């Protein structure tokens, strides 16, 4: 590992716009603020960008708005934390909580399934 991952992460799911709300950071509750984020799933991280990234070229360095570490994380669907539909929550092993949402159920479940697989495989290694 190391070296090339910032240029070419092992992309599991290509970029797509998802609504994201970070509701806590290191166990500290945050004010909910839904933001449309360009999301890319790699083999161990969920990368969240404010702006859409080109698929063909390298990711712009420094343009990542947030990186969700998936090793040791926990994912679950939730109907209690939002009035929106198709909401799931990722809790990282450092106690940050993210809500992710999109109106398309098939898109939401595609991301849910892929992230869950990533979490499961990171636990085994």
Where along the sequence are the contacts to ligand I3P (CB under 6 A)? 31-32, 34, 82-84
Residue with tokens 């994912």: 75
The whole-angstrom separation of Cα 113 and Cα 124 is: 17
Q: What is the nearest approach in angstroms of ligand I3P to the Cβ of residue 82? A: 3
Single out the residue of 62, 81, 85 nearest to residue 22, CA to CA.
81
Instruction: Using CB positions, name the residue nearest to ligand I3P.
Output: 82
Nearest residue (CB) to ligand I3P, 48 versus 100: 100
Nearer to ligand I3P, 59 or 82 (CB): 82
Nearest to ligand I3P of 81, 110 (CB atom): 81
Question: Count of CB atoms within 10 A of residue 15's CB?
Answer: 18
């Amino acid at each position: 590992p190391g070296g090339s991952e910032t240029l070419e992460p092992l992309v599991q799911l290509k970029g797509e716009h998802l609504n994201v709300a970070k509701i806590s950071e290191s166990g500290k509750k945050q004010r909910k603020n839904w933001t449309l984020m360009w999301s890319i799933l790699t083999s161990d991280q969920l990368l969240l960008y404010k702006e859409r990234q080109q698929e063909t070229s390298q990711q712009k360095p420094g343009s990542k708005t947030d990186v969700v570490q998936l090793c040791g994380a926990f994912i679950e669907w939730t109907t209690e934390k939002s009035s929106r539909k198709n909401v799931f929550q990722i809790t990282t092993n450092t106690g940050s909580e993210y809500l992710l949402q999109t109106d398309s159920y098939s898109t939401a479940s595609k991301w849910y399934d892929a992230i869950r697989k990533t979490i499961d495989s990171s636990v085994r290694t």
